[in-house]
Amino acid sequence: MTVAKNAFYAQSGGVTAVINASACGVVETARQHPEKIAKLFAGRNGIIGALTEDLIDTSLESDADIAGLRYTPSGAFGSCRFKLKGLEESEAEYKRLIEVFKAHNITYFFYNGGGDSADTCHKVSQISEKMGYPIQAIHVPKTVDNDLPITDVCPGFGSVAKYIAISTREASYDVCSMAKTSTKVFVLEVMGRHAGWIAAAGGLASDEENDIPILILFPEVEFNQNAFISKVKEKVETYGYCSIVVSEGAHWPDGKFLAEQGTHDAFGHAQLGGAAPVVANMIKDALGYKYHWAVADYLQRAARHIASKTDVDQAYALGKAAVEMAIAGENAVMPTVHRISDEPYVWEIGKARLEDVANVEKMMPKEFITEDGFGITGACRRYLSPLIEGEDYPPYKGGMPQYVTLKNTPVKKILNTEFKL
């Protein structure tokens, strides 16, 4: 008779409007298989929770509260930016993971995150082979940047895309109404370090029924100041105003980001933020147009109130699939979204090997960007449009969305030994 083992789940990197929907899928599915998974522990603040033996007992959460995660933004268990290095470089950290996993009878590992998290998950999957401890590691995809390979889309992206498309349209209507005597240019800065998927979503604000002058600055296209200024002038002279969506990763031909601050995050990536004012002032200096700019920042990834139903459904399904793959004996894999058709939008769950996912970024295809480098093509529109489809509103009370806060009761420590990060 097979004895049920425990599982570990953690959230990693920047949170999204739907990462908790994936958590809901993981927890609810684990509860349906008590013969395989005895308890599911969550790491408080991601993988750090495993290293410090700071575990959360999800079995003490009610079914109603776990179900409520589906419509609650942010990371219910806390997230982190902490990347494990290779087994040789960080042997102490991997030994510590094994100590904690052994102490708490954990043999299933679910890690919910983006590219760096896929790399961490892949390294954890190698513990079984290289350090002699049986562990099945499954990565649950999540990133608003939409830059994981193989999967058609990453949970979190569809909702950000919807928020940016709506915000660009609404702000454009505002600017249009004021353009005669006031603001002629609105600049919206969005996330996207190397891949312009989020910026591209701004292009959805304009369609056959809403002819809005929009320029997009992609990370995939080297910034040409003269060409850009010329395009802005053309749009304003034609429409009276212009809206610009700039990715935080927009860069000069020498590779330097327009928004680079000179600092770096825990993963070694340049800290970005400030492309919008750079672009706005550039326009003011060259053309004299009055402008307003905004940085979507956390608002774009926290906006559960306007989440894409497609995104929510996919986030839950991938969390569910991760558990099903684990109990089926899989290791070092990631469930994916496989697109079958655009219209109607039909998708199914697929599977990718982590060695093919870790540290690989999926950029915008050239055929998704117009020849002038400032817009999206029909092919891009066909890709993006179904991802923002559908509304999945959270419950409201007193005019405000009602979200869930879990108890997050700690698991009693067995090792009781301090581990310095």
Residue type, 87: L
Residue 56, beta-bridge partner list: 42, 410
Q: Going residue by residue through the chain (421 aa), what tens digit of pLDDT does each one get?
A: 578 999 999 999 999 999 999 999 999 999 999 999 999 999 999 999 999 999 999 999 999 999 999 999 999 999 999 888 887 788 889 999 999 999 999 999 999 999 989 999 999 998 877 888 999 999 999 999 999 999 999 999 999 999 999 999 999 999 999 999 999 999 999 999 889 999 999 999 999 999 999 999 999 999 999 999 999 999 999 999 999 999 999 999 999 998 775 445 555 565 555 899 999 999 999 999 999 999 999 999 999 999 999 999 999 999 999 999 999 999 999 999 999 999 999 999 999 999 999 889 999 999 999 999 999 999 999 999 999 999 999 999 999 999 999 999 999 999 978 888 8
Question: Domain spanning 5-142+305-359+392-401 has what CATH number?
Answer: 3.40.50.450
Rounded to two decimals, what is the model's pTM? 0.94
DSSP string, 284-317: HHHH---EEEEE-HHHHHH-GGG-BHHHHHHHHH
C-alpha closest to that of 321 among 110, 129, 17, 177: 110
Three-state SS for 38? strand
Structure tokens at 278: 């750079």
**Predicted pLDDT of residue 417:** 86
HSE (CB half, 13 Å, CA atoms) of 233? 12
Give the integer Cα–Cα distance in Å for 353 and 333.
Answer: 4
DSSP string, 169-235: HHHHHHHHHHTTTS--EEEEEE--SS--HHHHHGGGG-BTTB---EEEE-TTS---HHHHHHHHHHH
**Are both 5-142+305-359+392-401 and 157-304 of the same fold?**
yes
DSSP string, 361-377: --PPPGGGB-TTSSSB-
Measured at the CA of 77, the angle between CA 72 and CA 78, to 5 degrees, comes to 100
Residue type, 187: V
**Predicted pLDDT of residue 262:** 47
User: Is the bond preceding 386 in cis, omega lying within 30 degrees of 0?
Assistant: no
Three-state SS for 407? coil
Q: Which CATH class is domain 157-304?
A: alpha beta
The answer to whether 14 and 46 are in contact (CB under 8 A) is: no
Task: State pLDDT tens for residues 57-106.
Answer: 999 999 999 999 999 999 999 999 988 888 778 888 999 999 999 999 99
Residue 400, beta-bridge partner list: 397
Three-state SS for 354? helix
Q: Which residues are catalytic?
A: 145
The answer to whether 286 and 184 are in contact (CB under 8 A) is: no
Structure tokens at 164: 């940016």
Question: Greatest CA span in the chain, whole angstroms?
Answer: 78
Q: How far is CA 340 from the centre of its chain?
A: 22
The answer to whether 110 and 323 are in contact (CB under 8 A) is: yes
Domain ranges of the chain: 5-142+305-359+392-401, 157-304
Three-state SS for 272? strand
Q: Which helix (H) or strand (E) holds 246?
A: strand 242-247
Give the integer Cα–Cα distance in Å for 220 and 251.
Answer: 9
Using DSSP bridges, classify how beta strands 396-397 and 400-401 pair: parallel, antiparallel or unpaired: antiparallel
Residue 294, beta-bridge partner list: 188
End-to-end CA distance of the chain: 39
